[in-house]
Homo-oligomer: A and B are copies of this chain.
Amino acid sequence: MNEQSLPSRTLERAVGELAKLPGIGRKSAIRLALHILAKGPEFGLSLAESIHSLATETKQCQRCHNISESDICQICADERRDSTRICVVEDVRDVLAIENTGQFKGYYHVLGGVINPMAGVGPQDLYVADLPERVEKTGCEEVIVALPATAEGDTTAFYVYKKLKHLPITISALARGVAIGEELEYADEITLGRSILNRVPFENSLKI
């Protein structure tokens, strides 16, 4: 099935829109559109409505740029959290992932991406500019830079570091090392090398 025109302009348009989503090509888009059709109008209407709401009603937390129902997100509104720590992450999924570990009780700062010149994303496209002021005003003592272990993540981490290093705070990064459950022989050299350089007191390794 090549680029044959579909039997209906409505179908063609929906396939075109669905195929703009990441990881969905034209064939998958046709499969999704036919599934929506096969499931009947209610199914499609409900999906369309939920995407409509997503596009128009979702807000961004004015403090941390996390997705939110209101001006300040649930996490920023929770005063029981540790206001001395801010964790800088790429996007909302990272907030979810870190919340899931149960190991961090501070606040977040969502950059909304990483610096990636190839994709046309520069520092001005990220929420970095307001971070130093936020750190100063909130009595933050430590910023944990929790960005992806990629070239783009490292570049962004260094940019964030430069913006903060004049402040009297600790700036830390996620530990890189051999993953729990991983065999040493399958770890790549850089990760294994880093995990030797950054070795920890044995008692620490007993903590979950």
Contacts and interface: CB of A to CB of B under 8 A. Distances in A.
Interface of A: 1-2, 4, 6-11, 13-14, 16-18, 20-23, 28, 30-38, 40-59, 66-69, 73-75, 91-93, 95-97, 99-100, 112-113
A42 B54 CA distance: 11
Contacts of A92: 6-7, 34
22 contacts: A1-B100, A2-B100, A7-B74, A7-B75, A7-B92, A8-B67, A10-B58, A17-B46, A17-B50, A17-B51, A20-B47, A21-B36, A21-B47, A30-B96, A33-B54, A34-B92, A37-B58, A37-B67, A40-B55, A41-B55, A48-B49, A51-B51
Given A7-B68, A96-B1, A96-B6, A51 B30 contact: no
Contacts of A91: 34, 38
Contact of A31 (B22, B59, B75): B22
Contacts of A69: 7-10
A194 B13 CA distance: 41
Q: What is the total number of copies of this protein in its complex?
A: 2
A44 B55 contact: yes
A130 to B, nearest CB: 18
Ranked 8 nearest A-B pairs via Cβ: A44-B55, A48-B52, A14-B54, A48-B51, A17-B50, A14-B50, A17-B47, A48-B48
A20 to B, nearest CB: 7
A19 to B, nearest CB: 11
